[in-house]
Structure 1
Amino acid sequence: MSIKDKITIIVATDNHYVILLGALIKSIEVNHKTPEKIDLYIIDDGVSESNKKKVQASSNPEMTTMYWCKSQEVIPPNVKIPVDKSAFPITSYLRLFGPYIIPQDTERFLYLDVDMIVVEEISKLWHTDLEDKLFGAVADLAKVVSSEWGGVPNYKELGFDPQTPYFNAGLLLVDPIKWREGDFSTKILKCIFDNLSWASFPDQYGLNVVLVNQWVILDERWNSYAILDVKDPYIIHYLDIKPIFKSYNCNLAYKEEFYKYLRMTPWKDHQPVPDWVRLSRKAYNKLRKIVSGYLK
């Protein structure tokens, strides 16, 4: 499928964060003025039927066609998910299987974390020249693999130059045909298993190690972190505490921007919730990894 015909977007969510998806969808549609239709593939890790209806109601069916893919069916039966020590939800691993849930002739897809809103015309990003690279991404807050608090902690052992660029995995503009040819999902999971003690940001670690220097560095405004104050952001990424919580402590203007779009959805009456909800969810994420070990 030519990139001129449709914009293919992949997201992954559970029932807890599906409210964020409502705002994300609405923000994309409100700012999308060019004629391409949107195919939205949602990897569903336990979204309730009532929330699926809210997601559907958040969207314009004349612009966006939704495809729901259950997480249990997205992950091949012989594949195990690493049991890392982080509180990141298992949904963070699901981006690795995106190339396999779309039509085989799709020439590219855009993966977006659900804790984002898009405030620029999405087609401008979609038509970015990938310069024959595997994908495009934005540099992470850590910037380089040698970052003391992020990056790739064992970069020396891996033989990486300390100034090797390090990307944030929340936004990936990918050539899925090259991805499948390289069997990169398998290689990334193996990398995480082999280096689990180093992988503080597990899937992002594996992506950066295996796909080192195979990416086009995109304008930072396409992944503007809410902890910063980026002038005229294109996409706002709520990396840390999400704006649905009372304890949100990042850029307040970005919080207002989020609620502007959320008020256009069935979640329009949502009020920020207490922090114990967020903390209990983190505890649940850790417990789920310990108990199950991997998704089946």
Structure 2
Amino acid sequence: MGPLLLAADSAFSVPLATSLRSLAERSPLSWPLEVHVLYDGINEEARRKIAASFPLGSMVLHWHQFDLSELVRGYSTLSHVSKMTYARLVLPRLLPEDCQKALYLDGDILAFDDLWQLWSTDLEGAVLGAVTDRCLDPTGHAGLPRVKRYFNAGVLLMDLRKWRSERISERAFDYLDRHPHTPYCDQDALNAACDGRWKQLDMRWNYQCGPLEEIEGKAQSGALSIIHFVTPVKPWQPGNLSPNVAFYNSFRGRTRFVRTRSEYVKHVLKRTGYQLLEKSPTLRIFWHRTKAVAFWAGSILAKPKSGRRSKTGHKRTHDPMGQS
């Protein structure tokens, strides 16, 4: 099996390690997996912990540090989405010209099947294979590109030869230059660039899990091969109300990022607080008003004081050294 491509920043160290662990465990016949990670902000200690999170000999890990800030300046993202989402558009450049195929995976996935089955899919002349986005209707959402079908870009089986010859990355960036505030970032751009040129894969290869959908039963049944946590409610975040926290932790617990006691206590306290807010309208009103007052007070305190005028009429200011 050829290269696997992922991208992450420092906030995604835990899910990246967890995803890679699941990939290694489910594809033992393809060891060592060749994995390329485009990263920004993941320090050396975190990279060592990630590399030590999967079985010895299961993976050859290539790290590629890349600062996307200049390349994607002016492009927007959703509030819960990192700028690293745009890495999908540059990842094919990391591989040599003679590399004709690659599999891109988001960092918020778990694998439950041997990836060889996906890797060996015949794309039948398409530039990539992907799964239809089950959360979005391209005809019913303002701002989405008008395409025949709209795919989710969390799992992409890429024909790199066609990708390069059809200038998919360049066409996607052209779309972003014309629509810098497109709601779903590079996913919209890729859909515009690949309209009519992609093959629809079975939903099992990128099952997009809803925020309150309990996934363990479906995963254990063998009906799903890759689960993708697509919403802002991520099961590794402390305190959130995802029903998949314990299930996800069973995978995380096999990495070098096992949740500590203090992290567990923090999670329980925050989760309990959110549950109380969910059940009590009175508490919700009190909570939102308290947050509003705190925000207002913080804004007042953070507001720079205007310089006072001395008795001589000259305006007094503070210099960088703190002297008047």
TM-score interval for Structure 1 and Structure 2 normalised by the shorter chain? 0.7 to 0.9
Q: 1:64 — aligned with what?
A: 59
CA pair 111-154 structure 1, distance change in 2 beyond 3 A: closer
Does 1:242 pair with 2:231? Answer: no
Q: 1:44 — aligned with what?
A: 39
For residue 154 of structure 2, the aligned residue among 170, 186, 199 is 170
Q: 1:256 — aligned with what?
A: 246
Q: Deviations over 1:14-66 (max 9, x none)?
A: 11111101111110111113245311001011101111011110123412101
Q: 2:11 — aligned with what?
A: 16
Deviation at 1:129, TM superposition (A): 1.1
Distance in 1 separating the partners of 2:135 and 2:40: 29
Does 1:91 pair with 2:84? Answer: yes
CA pair 61-132 structure 1, distance change in 2 beyond 3 A: farther
Q: Report how many residues are paired.
A: 256
Deviation at 1:116, TM superposition (A): 0.6
Deviation at 1:260, TM superposition (A): 1.7
Say if 1:82 and 1:192, in contact at 8 Å, map to a contact too: no
Equivalence map 1:120-269=2 (5 Å)? 120-142=113-135, 144-148=137-141, 153=144, 155=146, 160=147, 164-197=148-181, 199-227=182-210, 228=213, 231=218, 232-240=223-231, 241-250=233-242, 252=243, 254-269=244-259
CA pair 255-119 structure 1, distance change in 2 beyond 3 A: farther
- Amino acid aligned to 1:248: N
Q: 1:285 — aligned with what?
A: none
Deviation at 1:153, TM superposition (A): 3.4
Runs of 5+ consecutive residues of structure 1 not aligned to the other structure: 1-5, 277-296
Equivalence map 1:96-111=2 (5 Å)? 96-111=89-104
Say if 1:42 and 1:66, in contact at 8 Å, map to a contact too: yes
Larger-Rg structure: 2
Q: State the superposition RMSD in angstroms.
A: 2.4
Q: 2:288 — aligned with what?
A: none
Question: Identical aligned pairs, as a percentage?
Answer: 24
Greater RCO, CA 8 A, separation 6+: 1
The TM-score normalised by the length of structure 2 is 0.72
Distance in 1 separating the partners of 2:144 and 2:83: 22
- Which secondary structure does the structure 2 equivalent of 1:168 belong to? strand
- Amino acid aligned to 1:178: K
Distance in 2 separating the partners of 1:108 and 1:76: 27
